[in-house]
Amino acid sequence: MTIYLACTVRGDRGGVAAGRAISERLHELGHRVLTTHLLAADVNEAESKLTEEDVYRRDLDWLSQCDVLVAEASGSTYGVGFEVGYVLGRSPVTGQQVVLLYDRTRRHAISRLIVGNCDGACTTFGYGSLDELIAFIEERFRPTTNDQ
């Protein structure tokens, strides 16, 4: 499965540890994650070498390629919201899915559009610990015999 892992680049990077754990487990389960570079400590510096238009075109291309967008949405970010809306808006035609993840202890600070998302193409999960998050990832993304 091809996965676009969305996380905050310029905003609150508090969810990066969770993003790294998600990415690592998805790789271990045999999935392709398009955006692992976003988890690097120097991502903003690395991304600044590209123009905004280049980032936009590249990311829309990746969003079009992915089977699932997994968004770690614990930080405040317009980009992740855009990516989620883009994929969900196209999902009736593309069949793409969205998985929204957030740290339950930050629920009060997370957009209600994230926490309350009940779109049929979206799964929303608030986690209380990295262990709970990884257990969810394993359950949701464990390859089936049809995937192999």
What one-character-per-residue DSSP string does the chain give? Answer: -EEEEE--SSS-GGGHHHHHHHHHHHHHTT-EETTGGGGSTTHHHHHTTS-HHHHHHHHHHHHHH-SEEEEE-SS--HHHHHHHHHHHHHHHHH--EEEEEEEGGGGGGS-HHHHT---TTEEEEEESSHHHHHHHHHHHHPPPTTT-
Structurally, what CATH architecture does the domain formed by 2-141 represent?
A: 3-Layer(aba) Sandwich (3.40)
Please tell me the pTM assigned to this model. Answer: 0.87
Question: Could you read off the pLDDT of 72-129 as tens digits, one per residue?
Answer: 988 767 888 999 999 999 999 999 999 999 999 988 888 888 899 999 999 999 999 9
Domain ranges across the chain:
2-141
Contact predicate 82/10, CB 8 Å:
no
What is the predicted pLDDT for the residue at 10?
Answer: 54
Which residue has better confidence, 99 or 35?
99
